[in-house]
Structure 1
Amino acid sequence: MKSKKINLSDLGGIMYSTDTSYEFRQETEEVDTPKNQQQDLRVMLDKKNRGGKAVTLVIGFQGKSDDLQTLGKMLKTKCGVGGSAKDGEILIQGDVRDKVMLILQKEGYMVKKAGG
């Protein structure tokens, strides 16, 4: 996925400052990770901007990035493939949607298949 662009509304309305000592601090608060039963995850197949290769995409995770990394590592290990976890999304190489759904359901997550 592309990194999210920052627009003026994200900056709190500040457009220009004449104060030479002014430094914009973007506050990024990480929310505590809810329980597995409260997470509503979507599993889909994605081929866009990947050179025709398919990846299984898990979206909808809410919580700390460390917990996202842990979940991503567990999924990659159990599926025996590579991938990455960042920006609230987990990318798993290949079309392993059914296997990922079964693993997440066993862990207690609410999972739905999304996309075509």
Structure 2
Amino acid sequence: MKSSKSLSGLGALSGLVYSTDSGRTCPECRQAKADCRCGRPQLPKGDGIVRVSRETKGRAGKGVTLVKGVPLDEAGLIALGKELKAACGSGGTVKDGVIEVQGDHRERVIELLKKKGSWTVKQAGG
């Protein structure tokens, strides 16, 4: 039989990161990202390199171009995603700090990102 003291210790270590009611939650205040009380913008952590790759996993064989590691806040990522989608003439979304553009547009996205910002842009994957 385990003591309740050890269970409460483990419970204190875990934090809610996703809720089916509100989606992603802040690890600090445990509120939905939109209702975060911490007041700090959450920038993606990375090594300063923007990586552009292509992925088909989980998409029924349909390829998407992924842009990871862009050091912008959520609003900046959404604006950049909209600009990239318009330039490629394609749809897409921004999820969890990753810009997804439908189709294989790696070359075009890399060119646009190099012109747009002062980031190091690399192609990841094959």
Normalising to structure 2: TM-score of the pair? 0.65
Q: How many residues align?
A: 95
2:41 corresponds to 1:30: yes
Structure 1: runs of 5 or more not aligned: 1-6, 13-23
In structure 2, the partner of 1:111 is 121
Secondary structure in 2 aligned to 1:56? strand
In structure 2, the partner of 1:52 is 61
Q: Closer, same or farther in 2 for the Cα pair 1:53/1:25, shift >3 Å?
A: same
Higher relative contact order (Cα pairs below 8 Å, separated by 6+ residues): 1
Structure 2: runs of 5 or more not aligned: 1-10, 17-27, 31-35
Percent identity of the aligned residues? 40
- CA deviation map 1:74-104 (0-9, x unaligned): 0001111000012110000000100000000
How far apart, in 1, do the equivalents of 2:113 and 2:86 lie? 13
Normalising to structure 1: TM-score of the pair? 0.70
Secondary structure in 2 aligned to 1:72? helix
Q: Is the 8 A contact 1:45 1:95 kept in 2?
A: yes
